[in-house]
Amino acid sequence: MTKPVLYLIACAAGPAQYVDEGVRAAQEAGWDVCLVLTPSAARWWEPRMAEMAELTGHPVRSQYKLPWEKDVLPKASAMLVAPMSSTTLNKWGAGISDTLAIGLASEAAHLGVPVAAVPHFNQAQGAQPAVARSLAVLREQGVLVLDGPQGPGAHPPEQGDPRGFPWARAVGALGRLLTDGGR
């Protein structure tokens, strides 16, 4: 049986260093995972990009394709933006999709593709007034935003726990989003 396709979209927030753990958690839950990185996150993974392509079985994408290029990834059944940086959150909330990562997720939310997002940023970043507005705008569009101990602005600067990012919980919530609308 063909597996459902998950676009795991990671921004340059601390836990993106361990996005391979997110890929494995989603694979264990039965997803065919395609990894999409913001251009900033792609810089972090540049030395190990081939490893990620091998792990997922798909090219890792981080840039919009050129007009004459074909899509290299299968169509997504769902998308998970994790970790979501404050920068990507605020651009998305403002309707700016200048990265492939935001472009895919923001359009998916209006194409009937379930989208979940797990923010990860510190209290100082989360205190920007734009953050609360952007979170509300995403929720208004049906995006499942997962809060929690790693949630928006939860930790003081320099005290995040990127290794403790809740990959399995995010994948579980995404599964519930597909089966019962996230309840």
Of 7, 121, 165, 167, the residue at the interface with ligand FMN (CB under 6 A) is 121
27 makes contact with ligand FMN (CB under 6 A): no
**Where does this chain touch ligand FMN (CB under 6 A) — which range of 64-72, 86-94, 105-113, 137-145?**
86-94
**Where does this chain touch ligand FMN (CB under 6 A) — which range of 25-33, 37-45, 50-58, 130-138?**
37-45
41 makes contact with ligand FMN (CB under 6 A): yes
Of 56, 62, 85, 106, the residue at the interface with ligand FMN (CB under 6 A) is 85
Give exposure, 28-43, as e/b (b: 16+ Cβ within 10 Å). eeebbbbbbbbebbbe
Separation CA 136–CA 130 (nearest Å): 10
CB-based contact 7:80 (threshold 8 Å): yes
Of 38, 62, 90, 134, the residue at the interface with ligand FMN (CB under 6 A) is 38
Q: Which three-class secondary structure state does DSSP give residue 156?
A: coil
58 makes contact with ligand FMN (CB under 6 A): no
Q: How far is CA 75 from its chain centroid? A: 16
CB of residue 81 to ligand FMN, shortest distance in Å? 10
For residue 73, give the nearest of 82, 62, 85, 84 by alpha carbon. Answer: 62
CB of residue 100 to ligand FMN, shortest distance in Å? 10
- Angle between helix axes 19-28 and 167-180 (nearest 10 degrees) is 40
170 makes contact with ligand FMN (CB under 6 A): no
